[in-house]
Amino acid sequence: MKKDFIGELAAALNKRGIKLMLYYHPGHEDAPFWRANWSAAGRADRSRFFENWTSIMTEIGDRYGYRLYGWFFDDGCVYYPSPFEMLTKAAKAGNPQRLVSYNNWALPLCTEFQDVMMGEGQSGDGSLPPKGNGIYTFGPMRGQQAHGMFCIDGPDWGIWKPETRIVPTVSAEKAVAAVKDASDRGMPLSLNFLMYEDGTVAPESLQTLRAVKAVIRDGKGMPVPPPSFTKHSDHSSILSGRKETQEQRDARMKWWREARFGLFVHWGLYAVPAGIYEGKRISNIGEWIMCNARIPVARYAEYAREFNPVKFNADEWVRIVKDAGMKYIVITAKHHEGFAMYRTKVCPFNIVDATPFKRDPLAELAGACRKEGIQLGFYYSQAQDWHQPGAGTWSGDHWDKPAQDGNMDEYIDKIAVPQVRELLSNYGEFPSVLWWDTPYQMTLERSKRLYNAALDVKPHIIMDNRLGPGYHGDFMVAEGNIPANGCPGRDWEACDSIVTGTWGYKSYDNKWKSTKDLLRNLVTIVSKGGNFLLNVGPTGEGEIDAKSQERLAEMGKWIKNNGEAIYGTSASPFPNELKWGRVAWKGKRLYCFIFDLPADCRILLPGLKRLVKVAWLLADSKKVPLPVVSNDDGVTLTVPEGTTRDPYATVLAVEMAVERLQPLNRSRFDGAHHATSIRMEARSPTSATTTGAGWLSRWPAVSMK
């Protein structure tokens, strides 16, 4: 019998308001081979294995789209070093809101890439999160949103032989008690029940499930709603110190949403070694050289005596930003190396006290930005600090133990919190944005202390989502990729570097991305409702390299003519990318960015029919109308033959009869997907503002596995 079991199940569950997650296991039978041959196997063999794994998930994800709400990956991902980021991207194909969870055995390797932690035997290793918010506070699971699994019948999670009789191993009373306990702890709980080969469920199992259902429906002893799933007034999740209405939030985020394009600056002490240590080129990104080369703390600190960026000119940097069409800057005030790029009283390891430069570049940038109307934000590494004892590290270990070992809570209280207060107090109206990063070893309590310190000084500060457990952020970050459907329900920002392979300066890195790729990335991000934060890594002398300046200037020339289609726009109303290019929305206008004009010079706007009033080339000051034809497929626009085509993107302005479109039927369109990797929440594709309710907020306390 050939049937689409998943499709039928998804449809049936959807009718009842129940969400479907899928379990995936690469197979124990492969594990011995991969354990024995992993080190000997070539990279191509490993790549083929993972490509097969991810292609299966991508195919399933694309097929079922928004009917599939999540994936749970079992312990097979632990047998070999799985590329968790790649797997997570594949898992979100077709629905970027989809939850991803790995078996707790994979912790802490998968921590950064999963949304919730699923643990067998109710909640992982027999341990449970404390009562209240469903967040673990101990062990490798700390900081993770808990999601328990509980098997109500046996002998195991699945049936190994068809003739095996299913016998419940857990009484209805015990199952009910587990559900109540999980709800009291603020975490969802999946109940596992077995099915016979013919698709039927054992009567005894049904009795247990009905007992659970009765208790949930009755509500006795069940917190309603469970503590960790209450709706918050903003996206601060558990850290709800900021109370604001949707109107207040919209006002606070207004400039950021309109800006759409900003400059990221990775500049620090790492610009001195510039990717080379003891005569050897150190692989990986330049700003991580201290960690990747395992440079001792005292030895790395010596670079400060060589750091004298006398060619730094804040006015020149801001001119480059303005000419590029950018509206804001985010610069590293302190990266993981622990070196402060400003005058700090907390630690002498800073650019004013430890270098011959003796100047505060953040103060100079603040003055230059203020004069030119550019917003200024600061990046601050709150968890990783390889210079200070007790701070977090990516790997969880210290390579210079005498200098780095210590208490992380003391580091948070004595270094991180005071420095955050300094940064938010000493530069007038700046920073406008506080950009956290890599929350390794962060806990809910540590997040609280930093979050409260920031709001205490600047209540209206805009912050990203990388602070740590319990905080969703004002906007989500997609690093080095463009989510397929943007980030529904959230403000979001994609960040990427002009130079491939590094964020901080490396003297031998000469792989610059082309202006065409950078501009089309900007357009694609804007068409999905996001901002683009494009990075440069200045030299140890304080200069932005000529190749990067050239690309920024070329982007600026295009934006000068087409900025109307970039600034203040919302995501495309079309659920998929269109073959010929991208679309953005503002007011009653659609903006069509044509990357590849068809041979017949016609582009289709599917599904719009008679909603288009008039269209013209945005570069045409006379606004000569283009031929518009409406039919059953939508609206066809014709670009006149002989029209000069922009090498990056030709833009059409389309005046509509309405200001908003209802979400269009996904099945009507033929589009391509880009990689997805970030955690997301739901919103209407036509809305640029957030809904206030997180995706997890709407999860039931109990689901059936």
- Estimate to the nearest angstrom the gap between the alpha carbon of 340 and the chain centroid: 26
Q: Cβ–Cβ contacts within 10 Å for residue 407, how many?
A: 12
| Least reliable range by pLDDT among 101-110, 459-468, 548-557 | 101-110
Tell me the two tokens of residue 588.
Answer: 């009653």
**Whole-number CA gyration radius for the chain:** 27
- 698: pLDDT strictly greater than 70: no
User: How many residues in the chain?
Assistant: 705
Per-residue pLDDT at 353 = 98
Q: What is the dihedral of CA 47, 48, 52, 57, to 10 degrees?
A: 10
Which whole number is the average pLDDT over 275-283? 96
Q: pLDDT digit string (tens) for 57-76? A: 777 877 777 778 888 877 55
Instruction: Give alpha helix (H) positions in 101-228.
Output: 172-184, 203-218
How buried is 243 (Cβ within 10 angstroms: 0-12 exposed, 13-18 middle, 19+ buried)?
A: exposed
What DSSP line would sit under 615-648, residue for residue? Answer: EEETT-TT-PPPPEEEETTEEEEEPPTTPPPPSS
- 534: pLDDT strictly greater than 80: yes
The answer to whether 415 touches 367, Cβ cutoff 8 Å, is: no
Q: pLDDT digit string (tens) for 299-343? A: 999 999 999 999 999 999 999 999 999 999 999 999 999 999 999
Among left, alpha and beta (phi > 0; psi -120 to 50; other), residue 294 is left
| Least reliable range by pLDDT among 15-24, 447-456, 602-611, 641-650 | 15-24
Amino acid code (one letter) for 379: Y
DSSP-based three-state secondary structure for 477 = strand
Q: Which residue has the tokens 């905080």?
A: 471
The answer to whether 132 touches 186, Cβ cutoff 8 Å, is: yes
Tell me the two tokens of residue 270.
Answer: 């790492």
The answer to whether 115 touches 145, Cβ cutoff 8 Å, is: yes
Task: Give the whole-angstrom CA distance, residue 663 versus residue 382.
Answer: 39
- Estimate to the nearest angstrom the gap between the alpha carbon of 234 and the chain centroid: 18
Task: Give the whole-angstrom CA distance, residue 638 versus residue 640.
Answer: 6
Q: What φ, ψ does residue 650 adopt, rounded to 5°?
A: -85, 130
List the domains of the chain with CATH numbers.
246-564 (3.20.20.80), 581-672 (2.60.40.1180)
Per-residue pLDDT at 373 = 98
Per-residue pLDDT at 699 = 27
Q: Which residue did the predictor score with more confidence, 550 or 95?
A: 550
Whether omega for the bond prior to residue 155 falls within 30 degrees of 0, making it cis, is yes
Tell me the two tokens of residue 182.
Answer: 């999980």
- 675: pLDDT strictly greater than 90: no
DSSP strand pairing (634-638 vs 261-265)? unpaired
**Strand order across the beta sheet in which 261-265 lies:** 462-463, 433-436, 375-380, 328-334, 261-265, 531-536, 492-497, 476-479
Q: Quick one: DSSP state of residue 341?
A: S
Which whole number is the average pLDDT over 168-186? 74
Q: Quick one: DSSP state of residue 544?
A: -
DSSP-based three-state secondary structure for 310 = coil
- 492: pLDDT strictly greater than 80: yes
The answer to whether 212 touches 180, Cβ cutoff 8 Å, is: no
| Least reliable range by pLDDT among 63-72, 126-135, 246-255 | 126-135
Per-residue pLDDT at 642 = 84
Which whole number is the average pLDDT over 399-414? 96
Q: Quick one: DSSP state of residue 106?
A: G
Tell me the two tokens of residue 93.
Answer: 């194909």
Tell me the two tokens of residue 490.
Answer: 């959230």
Task: Give the whole-angstrom CA distance, residue 361 versus residue 335.
Answer: 15
Greatest mean pLDDT among 467-471, 620-624, 679-683 lies in 620-624
Q: What φ, ψ does residue 654 adopt, rounded to 5°?
A: -125, 115
- 672: pLDDT strictly greater than 60: no
What DSSP line would sit under 26-60, residue for residue? Answer: --GGGHHHHHHHTTTS-HHHHHHHHHHHHHHHHHH
DSSP-based three-state secondary structure for 154 = strand
How buried is 653 (Cβ within 10 angstroms: 0-12 exposed, 13-18 middle, 19+ buried)?
A: buried
The answer to whether 611 touches 661, Cβ cutoff 8 Å, is: yes
Q: Which residue has the tokens 């002989």?
A: 642
Q: How far apart are the first and last CA of the chain?
A: 24
Q: Which residue has the tokens 């047998």?
A: 79
Which whole number is the average pLDDT over 155-174? 61
Task: Give the whole-angstrom CA distance, residue 234 versus residue 465.
Answer: 13
Task: Give the whole-angstrom CA distance, residue 489 versus residue 679.
Answer: 11
Amino acid code (one letter) for 381: S
